[in-house]
Amino acid sequence: MHFKKRSLLLLSVISLTACKPQETSIEEQATVASCHSNEPCIYDKQVKVWLSESIVTPETPFNINLSLPEGLKVINAKLEGVTMYMGYIPVFFKSTKGILQADTMVGVCSEKNMKWKLIIELEDQQAKTSQVTYYFIVKQS
């Protein structure tokens, strides 16, 4: 019985320490000025990102939608916590009815409202790369 209590305590400590506060740079804050969290956002070259749900909750599946102009392709995409760093979650897009769509989910953390960012690396036909960063909020119920 004593071993179970210690194991539970250790697991709780590890879970809470996995969520480390992370500072947001001024540059990152500036990239969200033209778009509101959880709302569709259009970037340069007509790249558009939007979520399937306006309210996202932890440990609940949701879709990320992406519309790209001809000649651009995704070479890498991942989710990272902004409010608290929790590692990263790889994002894989598949083509569905003319748009790219990724099924994903984020974990729960000690924060009531957790800010996340989606980082998408793109490549054009000349092998020139660019990056899009989309921010959204996950709310615990």
Residue 101: burial class (beta carbons within 10 Å; 0-12, 13-18, 19+): middle
Q: What long-range pairs does 29-33 form, CB within 8 A, spacing at least 24?
A: 31/133, 31/135, 32/135
Across-strand partners of 79?
89, 118
Residue 80: burial class (beta carbons within 10 Å; 0-12, 13-18, 19+): middle
CA distances from 85 to 8, 12, 36, 109, 115 (A): 23, 17, 21, 10, 10
| pLDDT score, position 75 | 97
| pLDDT score, position 99 | 95
Domain of residue 26 covers 2-139
CATH at 66: 2.60.40.1930
Residue 78: burial class (beta carbons within 10 Å; 0-12, 13-18, 19+): middle
Q: How far apart are CA 74 and CA 92, in angstroms?
A: 9
pTM above 0.85, yes or no: no
| pLDDT score, position 19 | 53
Please tell me the total count of domains within the chain: 1
| pLDDT score, position 37 | 83
Helix (H) or strand (E) holding 130, with range, is strand 129-139
Side chain identity at 108, as an amino acid letter?
Answer: V
| pLDDT score, position 86 | 86
| pLDDT score, position 68 | 96
Q: What residue spans of 19-136 are helical by DSSP H?
A: 26-31
Q: How far apart are CA 108 and CA 47, in angstroms?
A: 29
Mean pLDDT by 10 residues, the chain (141 residues): 42 42 37 69 91 93 96 96 92 94 92 94 95 94 77
